[in-house]
Amino acid sequence: MSEAAKITVTLEPRLEEYVRDEVARGAFKSSSDYIESVLRDRYNDDQRVHELEDELQKGIDDLEAGRTVSLEDAFNGVYAELGLDKLRSR
């Protein structure tokens, strides 16, 4: 793990109280741990959004290039991959 950097953050009173309450109830060891956890979660969420956007763009590119399959073929492929029989019509 890389060396931690020190950053000073100023919070409005209600947020400061919230962070201190979270630490006091034992959810985190310190205010720094709480802030780092929130930032880490946000960072991870942003990374997942970027990955999703990349995958969506690949799908758009495939569609525009005519690289498509029918919905029935797509589902049949999923069933086969999962080792399932095709669902019967009701």
How many beta carbons lie within 10 A of that of residue 19, not counting itself? 21
C-alpha dist (Å) from residue 61 to 49, 64, 71:
18, 5, 18
Convert the pLDDT of each residue in 40-60 to its tens digit: 999 999 999 999 999 999 999
Q: Please give the helix or strand (H or E) that residue 26 lies within, else none.
A: none
Residues 6+ apart with CB under 8 A from 30: 23
Convert the pLDDT of each residue in 24-39 to its tens digit: 999 999 999 999 999 9
- Estimate the share of the chain in helix, then strand, then coil, as percent rounded to the nearest 5: 65, 0, 35
Kindly report the pTM of this predicted structure: 0.68
